[in-house]
């Protein structure tokens, strides 16, 4: 059986690579994966395995269609079962053509977001994808619930939820034991080019904290966020790291004091789970996806979008005795191990691949 994954881009933080293809080939020698990126591959230090092949299409829809078609034809000539697993909404037309040309190939579409937070065009394309594929998979309960009241959905037996997970072994193998030696309390957060991660809000929170704090921002920033940081009165204590590889994310988490997520929306947030797996205290915004995690990990709490509340929570958590902090992070870590491991997630995906 061959899984061909289709994604928009292939970077160090890409979900289709990190949470799917890389994990499956590194955890089981029998798994064979091919990952096809619409855009050029933007980093080089990939996990090396003969069971994982990477392809790029230079942002060309024609190349994408040809590349997927060529891989399907090759594997069919070897009498292999082929499953095409889609991870991005904008390839609906490609999917339609593939269904027309290779009608016997099965297709799966994983939805990594909530419906209301898609742009209009992605809402339309997602709906088309859902109707074309053989199985729709939601990444969590909040994602599934957001589609529940829409009309013209696939039949219920074509939909299922498989909750996101964390590669705990990878976290443990790469997490640094390096301690924060700056003398400051380090807050860390994840950024995206969109406003999803609510960086502007976090900077305002940070500006209301004492000078003993510093803020690390991992991930790409948009121009508005860059200008806000540049003009902040605390700019000398805000450190932007850009897009970093996953192992470096884990090291940054471990050497920081508190992880912050003021996200406005999520599918099911992998970075939050990874932070908890790294045994770092977390402060989370009061959104449905964070509440979904809180249902299974009762030690978590979410905080409303109010500056004073966030400042108070950060200072309160910072002042806890080490024994209290350790008790919190160990409960969080155990909750991730019990409910959100990639091993458990992919056991369900493997069952799905075999069944369709």
pLDDT digits (tens, 9 = 90+) for 90-132: 999 999 999 999 989 999 999 999 999 899 999 999 999 999 9
Which whole number is the average pLDDT over 334-350?
96
Separation CA 283–CA 259 (nearest Å): 6
Domain 2-164+341-355 identical in fold to domain 169-339: yes
Residue 209 DSSP class:
S
**Segment among 9-23, 74-88, 245-259 with least mean pLDDT:** 9-23
147-196 pLDDT, tens digit per residue, is: 998 988 999 999 999 999 999 999 999 866 656 556 789 999 999 999 99
Residues whose CB is less than 8 angstroms from the CB of residue 26 and which lie 6 or more positions away in sequence, other chains included: 47, 49
185-214 pLDDT, tens digit per residue, is: 999 999 999 999 999 999 999 999 999 999
17-31 pLDDT, tens digit per residue, is: 999 999 999 888 788
Containing H/E element for 185?
Answer: strand 185-190
Angle between helix 92-101 and helix 61-77 axes, rounded to 10 deg: 30
The CATH classification number of 169-339 equals 3.40.50.2000
Separation CA 292–CA 188 (nearest Å): 22
Separation CA 332–CA 347 (nearest Å): 23
Question: Alpha carbon 193 to chain centroid distance?
Answer: 14
pLDDT, residue 152, reads 87
Return the biggest CA–CA distance within the chain: 65
CATH topology of domain 2-164+341-355: Rossmann fold (3.40.50)
Which whole number is the average pLDDT over 267-275?
95
Residues whose CB is less than 8 angstroms from the CB of residue 299 and which lie 6 or more positions away in sequence, other chains included: 328, 331, 332, 335
pLDDT, residue 29, reads 78
Neighbours of 289 (CB within 10 A): 27
Separation CA 227–CA 127 (nearest Å): 36
306-336 pLDDT, tens digit per residue, is: 999 999 999 999 999 999 999 999 999 999 9
3-state secondary structure 119-165: CHHHHHHHHHHHHHCCEEEECCHHHHHHHCCCCCCCCHHHEEECCCC
Which whole number is the average pLDDT over 255-271?
95
Contact indicator for 320, 284 with CB cutoff of 8 Å: no
Domain ranges, ordered by start, for the chain: 2-164+341-355, 169-339
């Amino acid at each position: 059986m061959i899984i061909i994954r289709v994604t928009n881009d292939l970077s160090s933080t890409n979900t289709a690579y990190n949470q799917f293809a890389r994990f499956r080939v590194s955890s089981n020698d029998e798994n064979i994966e091919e990952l096809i990126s619409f855009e050029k591959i933007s980093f080089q230090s990939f996990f090396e395995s003969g069971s994982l092949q990477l392809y790029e299409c230079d942002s060309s829809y024609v190349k994408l269609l040809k590349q997927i078609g060529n891989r399907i034809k090759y594997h069919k000539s070897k009498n292999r079962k082929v499953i095409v697993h889609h991870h991005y909404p904008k390839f609906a037309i490609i999917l339609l053509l593939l269904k027309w040309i290779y009608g016997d190939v099965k297709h799966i579409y994983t939805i990594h977001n909530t419906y209301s937070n898609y742009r209009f065009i992605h809402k339309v394309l997602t709906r088309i994808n859902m109707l074309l594929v053989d199985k729709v998979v939601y990444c969590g309960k909040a994602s599934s619930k957001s589609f529940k009241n829409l009309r013209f959905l696939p039949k219920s037996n074509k939909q299922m939820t498989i909750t996101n997970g964390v590669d705990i072994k990878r976290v443990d193998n790469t997490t640094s034991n390096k301690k924060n030696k700056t003398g400051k309390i380090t807050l860390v957060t994840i950024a995206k080019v969109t406003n999803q991660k609510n960086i502007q809000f976090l900077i305002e929170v940070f500006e209301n904290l004492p000078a003993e704090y510093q803020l690390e921002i991992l991930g790409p920033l948009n121009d508005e966020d860059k200008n806000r940081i540049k003009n902040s009165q605390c700019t000398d204590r805000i450190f932007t790291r850009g897009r970093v590889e996953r192992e470096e994310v884990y090291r940054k988490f471990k050497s920081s004091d508190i992880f912050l997520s003021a996200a406005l929306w999520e599918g099911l947030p992998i970075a939050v789970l990874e932070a908890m797996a790294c045994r770092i205290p977390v402060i989370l915004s009061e959104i449905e996806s964070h509440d979904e995690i809180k249902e299974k990990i009762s030690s978590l709490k979410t905080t409303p979008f109010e500056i004073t509340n966030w400042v108070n929570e950060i200072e309160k958590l910072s002042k806890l005795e080490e024994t209290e902090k350790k008790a919190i992070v160990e409960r969080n870590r155990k909750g991730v191990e019990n409910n959100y491991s990639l091993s458990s997630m992919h056991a369900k995906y493997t069952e799905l691949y075999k069944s369709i």
